[in-house]
Amino acid sequence: MEIKRILIANRGEIAIRVIRACKEMDIESVAVYSDADKESLHVKYADAAVNIGPALSYKSYLNIDNIIDAAKKTKADAIHPGYGFLSENADFAKACQDNNLIFIGPSVKSIEKAGDKSSARQTLIDLGIPVIPGSDDILSSPDMAGDVAEKVGYPVILKASGGGGGRGMRVAHTREELIKAFSISSGEAKAAFGNPDIYLEKYIKRPRHIEIQILGDMSGNYIYFAERECSIQMRYQKLIEEAPSCFVDDKLRATLGKTALKIAKSIGYFNAGTMEFLVDKDKNFYFMEVNARVQVEHPVTEMITGIDIVQQQILIAQGRKLEINQDEINVDGWAMECRINASDPDDNFMPCPGEIQSIIFPGGPGVRVDTHIHDKYMVGPFYDSLIGKLIVWAKDRPSAINRMQRALDEFQINGIKTTIPFFKKVLKNKAFQKGDIDTHFLDHI
């Protein structure tokens, strides 16, 4: 099942990340782009590029027919969905299958099982895996949400069924807040993922957000990687990620890893995926969700393992067996990622579109920049504000922090506001430097 040409059904830095993997594997790449993205570097770097519609997502990056048509016209063998947009959409995976296109991700059935929160929760309960109390089904109305919240107890959190990344997430402390948040949450979910379905969970105060990256092939072979610490968040959007976590010991790492693989096997999952957990101060953990795609923060895992996760996705999609054993997965040093967003930290992280007048990228040992921007690039208002990722590797966490501080000092983006100054502040914080963090860390600095 050899793949010769891959269409990337996404944009920006993740599209470039997939293009780079393709080039190193001698596979041709096809970019798709909306009217707003014609100057993005992913359009220039691909072997071919196809315009799939206007700037609005539902007319372009969420338009299944246009994407499938582009794949057919360019004679692509496979489609890589990246993250966000249609990456966890079972209908899209099915459309690829129906048109003899290899979907570089899990099976349609696995996506459906991961997205069916009711079925997934019951499966995990049957397996003896701790889950956060919440709704047993998709919420059909604000009143239904209110009734569930009364049972599990406030505060509660609404979440999008069709995807992650903080989209559609809202916390409510009362029934009145919940009813007001319901339509907002559903609307955000529909805009981001083309799916308005939401569900509800008990809101756990001040936990750590820990996730486990897994790989599984079509022959039933699985591996898990050391955890990623994703607790530095603003409105449920991750901002800083690192691997490993200074909080997770060997025992908890093994338990989380084995739990992640148990979940994957229970739903017949293959390809790359991430199991997300909340972990309290006593190291009790609760399963949150399956992310049936590559994660934004996958580079920190790559940096401490030397394994190219995107290339592994492609190999698995070709039917290849994993050539990596669990015993070969080691932690080498420490990696940290800062998400560079076009947003203003001094104005509640509001998006800050506009023209980038000039850029100076950081460099030197252990520094990686994943981005699609360039001088005179116009950051529009239509998509997520992520414009790049700064990733560093060093021998240990203090050294990684120092290297990230140095790289942030070198990173110059002129013309728009970005999160770079904010990260400089966080990295100097004594509690952060000690690793004393949780998902509400930014509320207290």
Phi, psi of 13 (to 5 degrees): -65, -35
CA distance 416 to 380: 11
The rounded percent of the chain whose pLDDT value lies above 90 is 87
List of residues 6+ apart from 338 with CB closer than 8 A: 239, 240, 389, 390, 391, 404, 408, 419, 420, 423
Residues 198 and 218 in one domain: no
**Number of domains, the chain:** 3
Q: Which pLDDT score, from 0 to 100, does residue 164 have? A: 65
What would the DSSP string read from start to end of 279-302?
E-TT--EEEEEEE-S--TTHHHHH
Sign of CA dihedral 255, 260, 261, 262: positive
Q: Is residue 113 part of a domain?
A: no
pLDDT band at 192 (very low <50, low <70, confident <90, very high): confident
Q: Is residue 110 part of a domain?
A: no
What would the DSSP string read from start to end of 131-192?
B--B-SS---SHHHHHHHHHHH-SSEEEEESS--TTTT-EEESSHHHHHHHHHHHHHHHHHH
Residues 148 and 238 in one domain: no
Packing angle, helices 309-317 and 298-305, rounded to 10: 100
Phi, psi of 399 (to 5 degrees): -70, -35
Kindly report, residue by residue over 378-436, the tens digit of the pLDDT: 999 999 999 999 999 999 999 999 999 999 999 999 999 999 999 999 999 999 999 99
Q: Is residue 367 part of a domain?
A: yes
Kindly report, residue by residue over 15-65, the tens digit of the pLDDT: 999 999 999 999 999 999 999 999 999 999 999 999 999 999 999 999 999
Least confident interval from 164-168, 267-271, 284-288: 164-168
Q: Is residue 282 part of a domain?
A: yes
Is the pLDDT score of 328 beyond 70?
Answer: yes
Is the pLDDT score of 73 beyond 70?
Answer: yes
Place of tokens 């009790």: 284
Of 104, 119, 144, the position where a domain reaches its end is 104
pLDDT band at 122 (very low <50, low <70, confident <90, very high): confident
Kindly report, residue by residue over 251-267, the tens digit of the pLDDT: 999 999 999 999 999 99
Is the pLDDT score of 118 beyond 80?
Answer: no
Residues 157 and 244 in one domain: no
Residues 294 and 254 in one domain: yes
Residues 428 and 281 in one domain: yes
Q: Which domain holds residue 413?
A: 208-444
Q: Is residue 410 part of a domain?
A: yes
CATH number at residue 176: 3.30.1490.20
Residues 63 and 186 in one domain: no
List of residues 6+ apart from 233 with CB closer than 8 A: 166, 209, 239, 439, 442
Cα 3–Cα 5–Cα 10 angle in degrees, nearest 5: 115
Residues 413 and 338 in one domain: yes
Give catalytic residue positions.
293
Measured torsion, CA atoms of residues 380, 9, 159, 109, in degrees rounded to the nearest 10: 170
CATH number at residue 319: 3.30.470.20
Distance between start and end Cα atoms, the chain: 52
Residues 418 and 290 in one domain: yes
CATH number at residue 73: 3.40.50.20
Contact 53, 63 (CB under 8 A): yes
Q: Is residue 111 part of a domain?
A: no
Q: Is residue 116 part of a domain?
A: no
pLDDT band at 236 (very low <50, low <70, confident <90, very high): confident
Residues 17 and 61 in one domain: yes
Residues 268 and 361 in one domain: yes
Residues 244 and 381 in one domain: yes
Nearest to 243 by CA among 282, 206, 287, 210: 210
